[in-house]
Amino acid sequence: MAALLPLILFSLSLGGVVVACAGYRLLRIDARLRERVHGSGLRQTPTSRLPFRLPRLFNIRGRDRDEVEKRLRKAGYFDPAAIEVFAWLRVAAAVTAALVSMAACMAATGNPFTPIFPTFAAAGGTYIGAKYVLQMRANARERILTAEFPFLLDLMLMMLESGVSLDQCFRAIARDEQVAVPNHARLVGMLVDDLDRGQDYQVAFDRWATRVAVNGARELATVFRQSLFHGMELVPSLREFVREFSQRRVARAREAIGAVTVRMVILMLVFFMPALFIVLAGPPVAAILDTLRSSVP
């Protein structure tokens, strides 16, 4: 009996650890479900989901945190730990730039700290430029979603005019239209998942508009809510939205054409005009130099 006592104690301890791990997992699942139901899944939770936390000096706080969080949502990153991941990546990129600069200084002068200004400039520029890179990613995603919006609304118009309800329309787009509107189909699929988890339509539409993060998305979500709760006719409003987003596509295309024209002018000034000046002014300048050279005794 005495020999079996350690085995019994070990079994009970192991069983307790297993039960504790299972309970912790259930608590985490319940917390995530509560976040989704109450519409707080897009916000950063107080507890970090990363195994290591950055020093307080490099944490994103205050107005900078709100700006970064908004840009992350516009860029399509909805995970609560996205802000911490961005902070880690920004610090890692700055350290990498500093190390590369130090290696270049070491190869050039034999001392990694001589001169020291390029190292600070590379690290600081990389740290500051990370937000601009994120903004570029957000602008690119906004352009893609804006370009897809007319196709999405046209699909919804065809389904609604054929007698399909708005809820069935969302489900059909999320299930069958990944090729026609791949980016919006993913976002609509997240909306359908929220509804399947028992979330209220108003909260689900607000979360969908926050994920889309394109001008006009919140107004469109308001139209969806009014159609569901107040019986407002949806087809005429959708036609207006189709016209608006189509005009935005045309305006963006004109802006792109104008930008290409400006780039071509700059390229011509930088590369073509010097060669043209050399070709046109070369013979006269050579003749003048020959004349001056021959007149000198």
**Whether the Cβ atoms of residue 216 and residue 232 lie closer than 8 Å to each other:** no
**Number of folded domains that form the chain:** 2
Indicate if 66 and 152 belong to the same structural domain. no
Query: Looking at the structure, do residues 82 and 123 belong to the same domain, yes or no?
Result: yes
pLDDT at 249: 78
Q: Are residues 137 and 188 in the same domain?
A: no
Q: Is residue 98 part of a domain?
A: yes
Within this chain, do residues 151 and 241 fall inside the same structural domain, yes or no?
Answer: yes
pLDDT at 63: 80
Beta carbons within 8 Å of 98's beta carbon, 6+ residues apart: 119, 120, 122, 123
Q: Which of 89, 122, 141 is the last residue before a domain boundary?
A: 141
Task: Mark which of 124, 141, 158 sits at the end of a domain.
Answer: 141
pLDDT of residue 278: 82
Return the pLDDT at 39.
46
Measured in Å, how far apart are the chain's first and last C-alpha atoms? 124
Same domain, 132 and 101: yes
In a domain, 48, yes or no: yes
Q: Does residue 185 lie within any of the structural domains? A: yes
What is the per-residue pLDDT across 131-158, written as a single tens digit (0 to 9) for each? 899 989 988 888 888 888 888 888 888 8
- pTM for this prediction: 0.64
- Identify whether residues 76 and 109 lie together within a single domain: yes
Q: 99 exposed, middle or buried (CB, 10 Å; 0-12, 13-18, 19+)? A: middle
Give the pLDDT of residue 114.
Answer: 79
* Residue 184 and residue 211 in one domain: yes
Closest CA to 224 of 212, 216, 232: 232
In a domain, 164, yes or no: yes
Instruction: Quote the pLDDT of residue 10.
Output: 54
Same domain, 215 and 147: yes
Does 271 fall in a domain? no
Domain that holds residue 205: 143-247
Determine, yes or no, domain membership for 129.
yes
- pLDDT of amino acid 47: 43
Residues 132, 147, single domain; the answer is no
In this prediction, the residues of the chain whose per-residue pLDDT falls under 70 are 1-21, 23-24, 28, 30-58, 296-297
